[in-house]
Chains A and B, each alone.
Chain A
Amino acid sequence: MYKIIRKKELNPTVTLMEVEAPFVARKAEPGQFIILRVDEEGERIPLTIADYNREKGTITIIFQIVGGTTERLNRLGEGDCIQDFVGPLGTASHVEGLKKVAVIGGGVGCAIAYPVAKKLHELGAVVHSIVGFRNRDLVILEKEFRSVSDVYKMMTDDGSYGEKGLVTDALKALIESGEQYDEVIAIGPVVMMKFVSLLTKQYDIKTVVSMNPIMIDGTGMCGGCRLTVGGKTKFACVDGPDFDGHEVDFDEMMKRATVYKEFELHEREKACNLFSKEVK
């Protein structure tokens, strides 16, 4: 059992939890993830390691409440325990040797992009961050992200905060103004990563994306997380989650992500109903 020692709501749909998991904290690196099960009946879901503290033996996760499991997870409070919490899984992001990088985060993807930006900053790279949210209420990790970025661009779909527009608009403007990046790292919704990759392809800038297909075991034994990269089948949980954005078949990936849509809707309703009963 893994104890939650801190819980903070970052916005109405995104929650941060710091969890006691000393074995995971020993080795965790940016880009890696954990798989958890909330309780005995729970399903296994992957979440990125947003931060770690080796001395305290803790791992921070940041998750968006999108369905049954994240709903149930969000119902736990400080002092409660998570049934299963396994990691660090996946391959760590390759950040060594990069001098100047554009890090792009979309929505809750910022939680995944932030530790990468932080690591790059610690290694002495110049970090330009571009973050995008639907609106002002959904903004997360602004202070943290700013503190590790040389340039920080905030974009909102409706212009309620920062600039109005998409992250690709801001990236294009920076590139056109003459900024030269060794690499672009994009993390967020699949559509966003797809369009960032299409853009950078035009300028021939190496682009790394963090793929988030449906996972079960997270150790390479089922192939549920497979996707096509450069024409070959890869397992995101072991070969990734980071891949070359110019090689990923995003359309296939987006289709695969919807396979359990009906089930998920139903699950979410169940979780919500359960919740409303409890608070009555």
Chain B
Amino acid sequence: MPNMSLKKNEMPAQAPDVRNKNFKEVALGYTAETAVDEAKRCLNCKHKPCVGGCPVKIHIPDFIAKVAEGKFEEAYQIIQKSSSLPAVCGRVCPQETQCEQKCVRGVKGEPVAIGRLERFVADWHNEHSCDLPVKAQPNGHKVAVVGSGPAGLTCAGDLAKRGYDVTVFEALHLAGGVLVYGIPEFRLPKAIVQKEIDNLNALGVKVETNMVIGKVLSVDELMDEFAFEAVFIGSGAGLPRFMNIPGENLKDVYSANEFLTRVNLMKAYKEDARTPIAHAKKVAVVGGGNVAMDAARCAKRLGAEEVTIVYRRSEAELPARREEVEHAKEEGISFKLLTNPVRILEGENGFVGGMECVEMELGEPDASGRRSPVVKENSEFTMDVDCVIMAIGTSPNPLIKSTTKGLETQRWGGIIADENGQTSREGVFAGGDAVTGAATVILAMGAGKTAAEAIDEYIKNKK
């Protein structure tokens, strides 16, 4: 008998006033009982619309059926066939615009909590199963992966499962990409990312950190001198954009990348951290995506009294995950919508002393259907802030392009690749944010997966 409750089972969470002072995970996850109960809300639809909404096509009703029966490890095995980082995706995917948006139960009431169930299953597996993955028989071929974000890790894992000798080259001192330097601990505990990387190591994937490809070694050298038969580029979109407004180089104006790297990768939030960070009192975060929400919530946890999201469109256009916006509000982050900064004012000793903004209104829908914001006349006003974090987007770093012969890119920097990840260079594949510009974890994983297949084809056909 299915559970006909119109609402999802709540996921327990730390109380807002407690969690906005620590970096521990906010959402605490389902218990076995709530997971089973939630799973029973699934109707096991024949036409499975939810699967169509999932970028990597997880067999959603099948795994949920196993959860309903209490067979959690079997559920994991089903997810694992399609997704290599379920503990991550269950936490960070924007389910409301993917699988859950298509769920039949969502027509009347709330959709099945597919993300929370995925997360539960993956956590259960990580806690209870100690089976090491089985290493594949080596096939004698070498592939290099540049970048250890979700795209690179997924590609590496899939190739290793096919017997390839895979080496991942990572520029930073820790593997994980945005999962370690961007998304904060309170949303994605770093132990979970490490666990996924340990699993890859067990499959035989080697990870070489401190290797900036384009500087230390070029893609051409990897292929010519080090005999990698193919290279996958998953270098992400880590180049921060600034607004180019006056005052942007004042002290305590950060790019979100710098702020989050200091907080997450360098653990600047810890009492005894050696990497410094501003502990400002009144922080403005410019932007409305996940990056802005993360930066704002980190600033709050570092002790800021007032944190304000400044976004030039309205609430409906906020690109962040719904859940993060809700969480941010509960934690006391304020939102100044339809507002755009024009100048950052200098305070004492070259620090930020305020921010001048204008109000915006939404104009007529443009060709893409989006209503673009226009400045309201004579609407200037000054915000009292002592720190500004710019979270207005990133683009791919030009380093790989500028050092790889014949690699074609879009004008904005994205690597040009076909639907299989093949670039303009033979044997060179690419995927994730490096190709699409800043997108999502699951799309990066999907791209890594597709490219692994294409690389396998390519190498098999070559001999």
Contacts and interface: CB of A to CB of B under 8 A. Distances in A.
A222 B216 contact: no
Nearest to B397: A220
5 closest cross-chain pairs (CB), A and B: A255-B350, A222-B258, A263-B276, A221-B238, A86-B210
Interface string A2-41: 0000000000000000000001101100000000010001
Interface stretch (B36-44, B245-253, B377-385): B245-253
Interface residues of A, number: 40
B242 interface: yes
A219 B397 contact: yes
Given A221-B239, A233-B242, 7 more contacts: A24-B216, A27-B216, A42-B274, A44-B173, A220-B397, A259-B351, A267-B276
B210 A216 contact: no
A22 to B, nearest CB: 10
A23 B255 contact: no
A23 B274 contact: no
A256 B251 contact: yes
Interface stretch (A53-61, A131-139, A223-231): A223-231
Nearest to B259: A222
B193 interface: no
Interface in A190-244: 216-217, 219-224, 226-228, 233, 238
B215 A223 contact: no
B251 A222 contact: no
A278 interface: no
B261 A221 contact: yes
A37 B172 CA distance: 11
Given A87-B215, A219-B212, A220-B399, A252 B239 contact: no
Contacts of A223: 240, 242, 255, 257-258
Contacts of B216: 23-24, 26-27, 86-88
A23 B261 contact: no
Main SS at interface, chain B: loop
B252 to A, nearest CB: 7
Nearest to A225: B258
Contacts of B266: 43-44, 216
Nearest to A2: B210
A258 B350 CA distance: 9
Interface residues of B, number: 38
Interface of A: 23-24, 26-27, 37, 41-44, 68-69, 83-89, 216-217, 219-224, 226-228, 233, 238, 252, 255-256, 258-260, 263-264, 267
B194 to A, nearest CB: 13
Nearest to B241: A223
25 contacts: A23-B217, A27-B215, A42-B274, A44-B266, A44-B275, A68-B274, A219-B171, A221-B240, A221-B261, A221-B397, A222-B240, A222-B255, A222-B257, A224-B258, A226-B249, A227-B249, A233-B249, A255-B350, A256-B249, A258-B349, A258-B350, A263-B276, A264-B276, A267-B274, A267-B276
Contact of A255 (B257, B262, B349, B399): B349
Interface of B: 171-173, 209-212, 215-217, 238-240, 242, 244, 248-249, 251-252, 254-255, 257-258, 261-262, 266-267, 272-276, 278, 349-351, 397, 399
Contacts of A87: 215-216
Nearest to A226: B249
Nearest to B258: A222
A222 B274 contact: no
A263 B274 CA distance: 9
Given A222-B258, A256-B350, A228 B173 contact: no
A259 B251 contact: yes
A238 B209 CA distance: 19
Contacts of B262: 216
Contact of A88 (B215, B261, B275): B215
Contact of A221 (B210, B248, B257, B272): B257
Contacts of A228: 249
Nearest to B208: A23
